[in-house]
């Protein structure tokens, strides 16, 4: 069809995105999907990553860090959201300390040196917010060490001690030498994951801690959102809603894979999925604006408290108008 709309899409290869890569995503016939696999930290030849390429207009649709998205929307950068949230994490499993340390609870980190990726990454934003609002630990009283540059220029809150140290892969050795007391990262350094250097999670039973958090707070925290070029959304009414439906259909299709008990490399993958459903009591990956309204408001509050945005704003401003009834 001559009038098909070509869409350059930048996403990672999660199971919920498999249908985009194997050609089974049920796209409407007026969309021509041109899907690029690119991880959130994949650096391209020009030194940019997926988020930077999206802001530069190299993609029409892309998976985007929620924290950077909040900053981008406040700055009126040329993107708008679709309430699809393809990546979620609890902060508790991402808090690592040395096995021989006496750190066993968030309060033990007050006054200590904690390494992050960038200050504005969503996991960093969430972890600091959870420390303060869930555990009563002022994140302002921790010395933050950054291993990655910021994707969007920010100013940190006055009085907060923040230093750039780089060398993310060297954090395991830095932890052993006592140069850092902890690090909050979704991907531990390779030396830790291979056992060359030692680290343990801060919480003795992070899964129980996260389930308790879920029951109290009511959600599985969002890490990423789907961003759409704002000019394209304005020029093509109905596109944002079509994308919402497309990503939802792809997620449902991916969920059906687990009906085969041997689809996953995990020996008990199907049972684990059943256990997860029982533990959460509902689908923790549910997309849509209304279902995630409270979560999004909490992230706006966290971002404002941490100086990433100047003032709270309505979360309705984040998304294309035609998706607000989802």
164 and 78, same structural domain? no
Least confident of 23-27, 60-64, 103-107: 23-27
Same domain, 18 and 72: yes
Query: Helices 293-305 and 66-74, interaxial angle, to 10°?
Result: 70
pLDDT classification of 137: cutoffs 50, 70, 90: very high
Domain residues for the domain of 192 are: 92-217
Query: Does residue 41 share a domain with residue 27?
Result: yes
- Is the same domain home to 295 and 149? no
**Number of structural domains, the chain?**
2
Tell me what pLDDT residue 56 has: 84
Whether residues 103 and 185 share a domain: the answer is: yes
Is the same domain home to 208 and 252?
no
Provide CB contacts within 8 A for 282, sequence distance 6+.
none
Distance CA 44, CA 153 (A): 20
Q: Which residue has the higher pLDDT, 53 or 11?
A: 11
Are 192 and 228 in a shared domain?
no
319: number of Cβ within 10 Å: 23
Q: What is the pLDDT of residue 153?
A: 81
Span 34-83, pLDDT tens digits? 999 987 655 444 445 787 788 888 999 999 999 999 999 999 999 999 99
Give per-residue pLDDT as tens, 176-235.
999 999 999 988 888 988 889 999 999 999 999 999 999 999 999 999 999 999 999 999
| Predicted TM-score of the model (pTM) | 0.93
Helices 269-280 and 206-217 pack at an angle, to 10 degrees, of 40
How much of the chain, in percent, has pLDDT values that exceed 70?
97
Same domain, 210 and 96: yes
Regarding whether 302 and 313 lie in a shared domain, the answer is yes
Q: How far apart are CA 97 and CA 176, in angstroms?
A: 9
How buried is 174 (Cβ within 10 angstroms: 0-12 exposed, 13-18 middle, 19+ buried)? Answer: buried
For residues 205 and 138, membership in a common domain is answered with yes
Query: How high does pLDDT run on average in the chain?
Result: 92
Task: Average the pLDDT over 88-109 and give the result.
Answer: 97
For residue 169, the domain's CATH number is 3.40.190.10
- Domain final position from 217, 246, 280: 217
- What is the mean pLDDT of the segment spanning 128-138? 97
Q: Is the pLDDT of residue 313 over 70?
A: yes
Same domain for 229 and 294, yes or no, is: yes
Query: In the block, which residue shows the tokens 């929307």?
Result: 73
Domain final position from 217, 251, 278: 217
| Percentage of the chain lying above the pLDDT 90 cut | 80
Look at residue 18 in the predicted model and tell me its pLDDT: 95
Evaluate if residue 296 carries a pLDDT over 90. Answer: yes
84 and 195 co-located in one domain:
no
pLDDT for res 41: 58
The pair phi, psi for residue 115, each rounded to 5°, is -90, 145
Q: Give the pLDDT confidence score for residue 1 in this predicted structure.
A: 46
Q: Exposed, middle or buried by CB within 10 Å (0-12, 13-18, 19+), for 81?
A: buried
Exposed/middle/buried for 179, CB within 10 Å: 0-12, 13-18, 19+? Answer: middle
pLDDT range class, residue 154, cuts 50, 70, 90: confident
Choose among 6, 34, 30: nearest CA to 20: 34
Number of neighbours of residue 226 by Cβ within 10 angstroms = 26
What pLDDT score was predicted for residue 42?
52
Last residue of a domain, one of 171, 188, 217: 217
List the structure tokens of 178: 């006592």
| Phi, psi torsion values for 102, nearest 5 degrees | -95, 20
């Amino acid at each position: 069809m001559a009038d098909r709309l070509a869409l350059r899409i930048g996403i990672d290869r999660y199971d919920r995105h498999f249908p985009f890569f194997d050609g089974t995503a049920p796209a409407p016939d007026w969309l021509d999907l041109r899907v690029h696999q690119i991880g959130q930290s994949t650096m391209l030849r020009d030194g940019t990553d997926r988020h930077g390429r999206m802001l530069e207009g190299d993609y029409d649709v892309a998976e985007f860090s929620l924290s950077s998205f909040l900053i981008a929307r406040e700055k009126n950068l040329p993107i708008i959201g679709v309430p699809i949230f393809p990546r979620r994490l609890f902060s508790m499993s991402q808090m690592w300390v040395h096995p021989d340390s006496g750190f066993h609870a968030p309060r033990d980190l007050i006054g200590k040196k904690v390494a992050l990726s960038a200050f504005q990454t969503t996991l960093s934003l969430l972890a600091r917010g959870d420390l303060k609002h869930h555990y009563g630990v002022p994140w302002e009283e921790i010395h933050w060490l950054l291993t990655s540059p910021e994707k969007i220029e920010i100013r940190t809150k006055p009085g907060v001690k923040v230093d750039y140290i780089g060398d993310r892969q060297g954090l395991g050795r830095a932890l052993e030498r006592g140069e850092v007391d902890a690090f909050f990262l979704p991907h531990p350094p390779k030396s830790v994951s291979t056992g060359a250097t030692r680290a343990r999670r801060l919480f003795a039973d992070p899964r129980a801690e996260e389930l308790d958090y879920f029951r109290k707070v009511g959600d599985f925290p969002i890490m990423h959102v789907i961003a759409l070029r704002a000019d394209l959304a304005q020029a093509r009414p109905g596109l944002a809603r079509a994308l919402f439906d497309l990503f939802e259909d792809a997620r449902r299709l991916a969920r059906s894979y687990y009906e085969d008990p041997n689809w996953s490399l995990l020996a008990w993958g199907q049972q684990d999925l059943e256990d997860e459903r029982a533990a959460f009591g509902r689908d923790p990956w549910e997309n849509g604006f209304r279902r995630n309204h409270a979560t999004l408001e909490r992230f706006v509050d966290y971002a404002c408290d941490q100086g990433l945005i100047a003032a709270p704003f309505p979360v309705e401003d984040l998304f294309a108008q035609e998706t607000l009834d989802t």
